[in-house]
Amino acid sequence: MTKLVYFAWVRERIGKAEEEVTLPSGVETVGDLLLWLKGRGEAYEYALQHPDVIRVAINHEHVDHRERIGGTSEIALFPPMTGG
Amino acid sequence: MVVPVVRIQAHDFDVAAEIASLQQGRRDIGAIVTFSGICRDESGALEALEIEHYPGMAEAEIGRIAAQATERWPIEALVAIHRHGMIRPGENIVLVVAASRHRRAAFEAAEFLMDYLKSRAPFWKKEYRRDGTAGEWLDARDSDEEAAARWKK
């Protein structure tokens, strides 16, 4: 199982803050994950309609969309950050 | 070896107290630069900003940026505090305190830390308006990305 966590408008559009999923065998990279999630229903389609703007962190570290997921425990999806 | 102090908290901070605490027992610090980021209302329509963060990663990412700053400049002490939750116009959001022997290192380290924090620390701001409507999530600005990019060596 992989834990997915969502923040800001990604969380609001998907309609939940986190969930546990079993990734299908074809999902090897972050890009694959975004594409697969996008196909899980309207809410996901809405949240991830522009996958290229979605930022991703694996185990609390920023990664790009080519990163391999491997045995990751926590993957976070969120919009570009607006802190400070 | 300087260990940066990073705190993520809902409550306010006291700039003077942070400076005093950093200086306590030190005679070798010749320069202290502080940056305060404050919630502002340009149009008169903002009730508050809600700042969401990613617990765990927020501390880790600011810690990584702060560690880079201490490797790059001869810094004697470094403090970064970022608030979360509902923050009203005029209230503090973020504080950076950098101390060094000479001023340039403190100025540059503080600016570097803020520039990187804006585009890499996992925080998001949502507007709430005075008319009671929930506003929008703020958009990230390209100028913040560019500000961070100019520090690339």
Q: What is the pLDDT of residues B17-71, one digit of tens each?
A: 999 999 999 999 999 999 999 999 988 999 999 999 999 999 999 999 999 999 9
Which of these CATH numbers, 3.40.1280.10, 3.90.1170.40, 3.40.50.300, 2.30.130.30, describes B5-149?
Answer: 3.90.1170.40
What is the three-class DSSP state of A76? Answer: strand
Q: How confident is the model at residue A71 (pLDDT cuts 50, 70, 90)?
A: confident
- A75 near B CB under 8 A: no
Mean of per-residue pLDDT scores for chain A: 96
- A62 near B CB under 8 A: yes
Rg of chain A over Cα atoms, rounded to whole angstroms, equals: 12
State residue B135's pLDDT score: 79
pLDDT tops 80 at residue B134: no
Nearest residue of chain A to residue B60 (CA atoms): A60
Nearest to B52 among A7, A57, A61 (CB): A7
DSSP state of B61: H
What is the three-class DSSP state of B17? Answer: helix
- A52 near B CB under 8 A: no
Nearest residue of chain B to residue A12 (CA atoms): B137
Report whether B128 contacts B65 (CB < 8 A): no
pLDDT tops 90 at residue A47: yes
Phi-psi region of A26 (alpha: psi -120 to 50; beta: other; left: phi over 0): alpha
Query: Quick check: A83 and B138 CB within 8 A?
Result: no
Pairing of strands A74-78, A2-6: parallel
**ipTM of model:** 0.96
Structure tokens at B29: 């610090």
Structure tokens at B121: 């620390």
Residue type, A7: F
Query: Quick check: A7 and B94 CB within 8 A?
Result: no
What domains, with CATH codes, occur in chain A? Answer: 2-78 (3.10.20.30)
Looking at beta carbons, which residues of chain A come within 8 Å of B140?
79-82
State residue A52's pLDDT score: 95
Report whether A65 contacts A30 (CB < 8 A): yes
Query: Quick check: B122 and A61 CB within 8 A?
Result: no
Structure tokens at A80: 């570009």
Whole-model pTM: value is 0.95
Report whether B139 contacts B125 (CB < 8 A): no
What is the total residue count of chain A? 84
Nearest residue of chain A to residue B116 (CA atoms): A84
Report whether B101 contacts B74 (CB < 8 A): yes
What strand order describes the sheet that includes B85-87?
Answer: B85-87, B46-53, B123-129, B134-137
